[in-house]
Amino acid sequence: SRVTHFDAEVLAVRGSQAELRARHHMERRLRSGIVNGDLRLHYQPLAEVASNRIVGAEALARWADDELGPVAPIDFIKIAEETGLIVDLGRWALRSACREAATWPMFESSDGIRRRMKVTVNVSAVQLSQPSFVQDVSNALVESGLLPRCLCLEITETAVIGDMEATAKILQDIRDLGVTIALDDFGTGYSSLTMLRDLPADVVKIDKSFIDKIADETSTDSVLARLVIETAHSLGMGVCAEGVETNEQAERLADMGCDTLQGWLISKPLPGSDAFTQWLPTAVL
């Protein structure tokens, strides 16, 4: 039978009600998952081009619920941000990552220098705007005994859309603790240059979308990646490329002077640090 305009509207409303119920359900499950310790962190190693060694790892949240099964981070992080659950989730991620990283071994690089691994933790806008945020970071360091310079916080451009000046002040307070700041997913927002100008940061992470076509020297993405690397270096910042999957991409990035590489070419995110701490003294690329 024919679907009338009215029927279609009713169906659309019913559809969105079902969606809403599903979201509420996921929100409830996530809330209890955070409280019950059902979330885990996986770690994706970061390779330094100059030394050809792993020098750190990014902590990435994972959640497998008894009822819902494994939920993609992009989905549960979105719900966490919309419901404010990201504050508890983020505090948990920060504390867990610091505690874990404090146990990572030191290693000797090819130049005979003893080095410590860094851990990077994602921070969302809602978390950053909490009055207790700087104190939370400081507490996580004291509790774990992790050296501040071994912690890096990743901030995305969308996290800063609000008040640039207030954000800059918070980031500077964090840096005063000795913690470093990375601008995540760089280039995907509409205010990348403003961010470079107005925010105190130590590292730029070039988004994967610019890396995908980088093996083609004539691609716009390739030209832009080079521009980002040169600009960041001129401003005294380091550069990390995200989502590096092929040797060609790694070679191009190394030629362009990119400092660190992250992506499946080096390793997928791993459930624990056991695996990659074993490769610390060996070449990764």
- Summarize as ranges the residues that interact with ligand C2E (CB under 6 A): 44, 60-61, 73-74, 77, 86, 90, 93, 122-124, 184-185, 242-245, 263-264, 269
As beta bridge partners, residue 54 has 47
- Structure tokens given for 56: 């750190």
What, of ligand C2E, Ca ion, none, does residue 239 touch, CB below 5 to 8 Å by kind? none
Residue 125 CB, nearest approach to Ca ion (Å): 14
Q: Which does 200 bind (CB under 5 to 8 A by kind): ligand C2E, Ca ion, none?
A: none
Residue 174-203 contact track with Ca ion, rule CB under 5 A, x = bound: ----------xx------------------
Distance (Å, rounded) from C-alpha 84 to C-alpha 127? 9
Residue numbers 229-248 binding Ca ion by CB under 5 A: 242
- Nearer of residues 61 and 239 to ligand C2E, judged by Cβ: 61
Torsion sign across C-alpha atoms 225, 266, 41, 95: negative
Q: What residues are paired with 62 via a beta bridge?
A: 40
- Partner whose footprint covers residue 90, from ligand C2E, Ca ion, none (CB < 5 to 8 Å by kind): ligand C2E
The smaller minimum CB distance to ligand C2E, of residues 100 and 184, is found at: 184
CB 176 within 8 A of CB 137: no
Q: Closest separation between CB of residue 235 and Ca ion, Å?
A: 20
Question: Total number of residues binding Ca ion (CB under 5 A)?
Answer: 5
Considering the complex, what minimum distance in angstroms separates the CB of residue 77 from ligand C2E? 5
- Residue closer to Ca ion by CB (options 29, 90) is 90
The whole-angstrom separation of Cα 27 and Cα 32 is 9
As measured in angstroms, the least distance from the Cβ of 154 to ligand C2E is 6
Instruction: Decide: helix, strand or coil at residue 36.
Output: coil
Of 109 and 224, the one with the shorter C-beta distance to ligand C2E is: 224
59, burial (CB in 10 Å: exposed 0-12, middle 13-18, buried 19+): buried
Token pair for 25 = 């359900």
Nearest-angstrom CA–CA distance, 158 and 189: 7
Residue 204 three-state SS: strand
Cβ neighbour number for residue 89 with a 10 Å cutoff: 24
The three-point CA angle 213-243-44 to 5° equals 170
Closer residue to Ca ion in complex, CB, 107/276: 276
Site string for Ca ion, 97-136 (x = CB under 5 A): -------------------------x--------------
Q: List the beta bridge partners of residue 60.
A: 42
Phi and psi at residue 219, to the nearest 5°:
-70, 150
d(CA 255, CA 154): 25
Q: Give min distance, CB of 43 to ligand C2E, in A.
A: 10
Looking at beta carbons, which residue is closest to ligand C2E?
263
Binding site for Ca ion (CB under 5 A): 122, 154, 184-185, 242
